Amino acid sequence: MVSYKCLNSEDVHFSSAEMSEESSPVQEQVTLVETEEASLLPSRLPCSVTTGLLMIGCLLLLLCGGWLLGTMFWLHSPSNQVPYRPPPPAPAPTPDSPLQRNHCVSGPRHDACSVIPEEWRFDCYPQGVVTRESCEARGCCFVPVSIHPSGKNGIPWCFYPRNFPSYSLKSLNGTSLGQKGSLVREVKTYYPGDILNLEVDIRLETDTRLHVRITDPMNARFEVPISVPSATEKAKDPAYTVEVSEEPFGLIVKRSSTGAVLLNTTVAPLFYADQFLQFSTSLSSQFIYGLGEHRSTFLHDINWNTLTLWARDVPPMEHTNLYGAHPFYMAMEENGTAHGFFLLNSNAMDVVLQPSPALTWRTVGGILDFYVFLGPDPGSVVEQYMEVIGYPAMPIYWALGYHLCRWGFNSSDSTWEVVKSMRNYGIPQDVQWNDIDYMDRFLDFTFDPTNFATLPDVVKDLHAHYQRYVMILDPGISSTQPEGSYWPYDEGLKRGVFIKDANGNTLIGKVWPGLTAYPDFSDNVTHEWWYENLKNFYEKVPFDGLWIDMNEPSNFLDGSTVGCPDSSLESPPYTPGVLGGTLRAKTLCATAQQKQSLHYNMHSLYGLMEAKASASALKRILAKRPFVISRSTFPSQGQFSGHWLGDNRSQWKDLYTSLAGVLTFNLLGIPLVGADICGFGEETQEELCVRWTQVGAFYPFARNHNALGMMPQDPTAFSLPARTAMKQVLLLRYSLFPLLYTLFHHAHVHGHTVARPLMFEFPKDVKTYGIDKQFLWGKSLLVTPVLDAGVIYLDGYFPKGVWYDYYTGDAIRSAGEVLNLHAPLDKINLHLREGSVTPTQTPNQTLWVSSGQPLHLVSALSDDGSACGDLFWDDGESLATYETNQYAYIVFSVAQRVMTSQVLRNHVEATYITVDSVTFYGVKQEPSRVLVNSHDAVFTYRENQVLTVENLGLNLSQNFTISWM
């Protein structure tokens, strides 16, 4: 393991250590790495004193020449120990010498700094402009680097030497779950409020989950208030070993089966001050995913890439902290294995990726509370992460239909006209939305009595046509209405539900209605007040779901109408790279007071807590599965809401980046996710909107939405060819509802992804690791969309195996290669993976109607003639149908020219559905006879090896067989 030595400008004594590479795990799978102590350098004067003496010596050279020469000779005297080698460019650098104890002086020797490779530099001065003097005052190495030819240069000039002081492990004792130890720092850092004594709790919670907590044993610190599982016994056969470096303290987590290093915190010093916590780790490879919310490729760039987490209202753009904060990453290892890491911390933070490869966590509060998930495959990593943060909710059935919205419906009648136009053209639509236009002066829980007077009638008409209505709500509550005229504010003030400023007064910001107060959703009293407001409004307008926006929370001001106090909370010693440069930028003061803690700690939890309150209220009002879409998100939010990717633009680039966003949020446990189809800001173009509708038809959450002042972009607004192409692909989505609904069931029960990266299904194929222009629904439906203008042919990668054209059944036998596909404007390329059975349904204009239509099964056979698939079916809207066994579950399998339907759980809902037809792709010889439940049946066989059996009329609730010979 790499050891580091550290130096500070203060006159202090410290020690450091290395860990032996040959350490072996003990019975508890936690190894304490033994070390030896030896003097590395002679004792020297403190840094600040030495620097001063040198300056005086230069000024008084003639008088003190002899003294100066002696001092120089002393400073350059050789060490009596072999110097440390630099960490090699590998996931787990190793040392070549035992523990060294050092009594240090000023800045590190130049040769000790120059041997550290650029890619292994850990930034000692991450904020502000660094100079040699300011760097060396921190006891760090200062070695400038030239600008790379590309002009991009993120290599730190100021970085930690290997002997920078850190914590040492003073004791380590066994516990029922693992080990617990005490850590001591003898050297203060350059940040105020060092916590010199810490406790580390190493918990082997399951065979595939390690949990580590580093806390202040003397004082309680803020901890993220979400529920996590509590292990009761230690893992019996963990897939990992834990090695503990004694001095300096560090953890090394390895995969038992391969020895791969998954976590190695010995590569850089540990910081644990009141407002600055930092640790680093080597990475197993350059393949890193997650760490939302950012606009980027699905596979993160590790070339000195800093990702800031702090919820912010800003249209998606690169290198910017966006709406949500998700401190979770998944990393690939060699041979296709994968692991995950989750830091349970909600404070503002930077996550720094560097090409060593390595990663640094840098946060301004809370504790270090983290998990390592062993996988070993990508899907298992996500499942294990869901076990900790909570499984996604099962959506109500109509959530998976087509949603239509815009900012700029100037009346309820204009909203109604679009709905009627969609019906007239026979274009599927399940849900109509309204943006803030519907409100009376942008006041929550009101509707415009003039322009939206017919809104209750619109909603009634939607319900009569089996359609639904969703409205927007912002958290900001107007504080300027005449007393007694606006119940939400008056009652909220009376109950004390609003966030307070540092002086205990209601904090006032500004959003759409003007001056506003912000509900404190960390308080259960606020949840009840929120429910009562929704219930009162529901009695006027019987809405079906909620769109909660502006909940970062957003503020048109920085902090409040009276600013924010001058304090370390508002201006911490270190401020992560947040947009605006301060924590209060376009949000609330960090010093604002909430029920559970300061806004400094709670800020990025605001959207989660509002979503939780909203979902709870909808359950009480509707007694059905709640539908909530939120802009701001945090881990565990999939239990309460979905997410849309924010205020994108009508540009081809935004269409492309939306795929990475959708795939990332499936990793993060929020599978009900999508982007604004056709783009929100700017004018869309017809070709772009057609292509975007084709992609959006395969977003798990599909909504068309655009901005105020933009031309209409609903499907009826375009030419006949464009409108027809959009209609066809939306009908295609509706025909695949049985598949999509079943995928959400598996997400809810098992933590599976819905929109799935190719690398999840093909983790041993490195070519899939960076693919984010294609994706899968589940394990078998491959989507290859057009993402560029003027394209009618495109390349798509097909992993090794047999793939079938979804529309024709034509087979593609791929060796793992890129193939060129025809993609006219009215087509999105879909392919089925061999070995799958896909349930489909005759589509209609609403899911209520189409979900009652007969099923058509599509079997894509493997070379050996096998295939399998399943179907989850219930009433589509009742709460907890899986948990209460109110559902049907059917498994379809094909082997040796026989398809079998096996009803593993029956329910009355299955009796309403029939299987009308089955198609088999890849039947190599034309059958002479087809039997359905041992009776002859009529069939067709095409030259491309497609067998179809129709007019079956088989009840879904009963087992059946179809065979051919």
Query: Mind telling me the catalytic residues?
Result: 549, 552
Sign of CA dihedral 705, 709, 713, 714: positive
Task: Give yes or no for a contact between 311 and 552, defined as CB atoms under 8 angstroms apart.
Answer: yes
Which helix (H) or strand (E) is 915 found in, with range? strand 914-921
CA–CA separation, 762 and 783 (whole Å) = 15
Going by DSSP bridges, is the β-strand pair 288-290/328-332 parallel, antiparallel, or unpaired?
antiparallel
CA–CA separation, 963 and 958 (whole Å) = 17
CA–CA separation, 791 and 774 (whole Å) = 16
Task: Give yes or no for a contact between 584 and 502, defined as CB atoms under 8 angstroms apart.
Answer: no
CA–CA separation, 775 and 54 (whole Å) = 63
Cβ atoms within 10 Å, residue 663: 25
CA–CA separation, 697 and 531 (whole Å) = 33
CA–CA separation, 124 and 136 (whole Å) = 10
3-state secondary structure of 656: helix
Question: Which residues touch 582 (CB under 8 Å, ≥6 apart)?
Answer: 558, 570, 571, 575
Q: Up-side HSE of residue 307: CA atoms within 13 Å toward CB?
A: 27
Task: Give yes or no for a contact between 480 and 515, defined as CB atoms under 8 angstroms apart.
Answer: yes
Q: How far is CA 402 from CA 413, 666, 699, in A?
A: 20, 19, 10
Tokens linked to 796: 């798509």
Q: How far is CA 860 from CA 104, 647, 857, 903, in A?
A: 69, 39, 10, 21
Asked if the peptide bond before residue 553 counts as cis, ω within 30 degrees of 0, the response is yes
Q: What is the chain's length? A: 965
CA–CA separation, 515 and 254 (whole Å) = 54
Q: Look-up: residue for tokens 């107007």? A: 478
CA–CA separation, 230 and 228 (whole Å) = 6
Q: Which residues of 698-735 are buried (b: 16+ CB within 10 A; e: fewer)?
A: bbbbbbbbbbeebebbbbbbbeeebbbbbbbbbbbbbb
3-state secondary structure of 901: strand
Which helix (H) or strand (E) is 18 found in, with range? none
CA–CA separation, 703 and 400 (whole Å) = 10
Sign of CA dihedral 267, 268, 272, 278: negative
Q: Look-up: residue for tokens 């565990």? A: 636
Tokens linked to 195: 């916590």
Task: Give yes or no for a contact between 107 and 145, defined as CB atoms under 8 angstroms apart.
Answer: no
Q: Look-up: residue for tokens 């700690």? A: 601
CA–CA separation, 742 and 368 (whole Å) = 37
Q: Which residues of 513-525 are buried (b: 16+ CB within 10 A; e: fewer)?
A: bbbbbbbbbbbee
CA–CA separation, 333 and 282 (whole Å) = 12
Tokens linked to 866: 């096998």
Tokens linked to 121: 């530099």
Q: How far is CA 293 from CA 74, 334, 615, in A?
A: 53, 27, 22
State phi, psi for 353 to the nearest 5 degrees: -105, 135
Task: Report how far apart the first and last C-alpha atoms of the chain are (Å, whole number).
Answer: 63
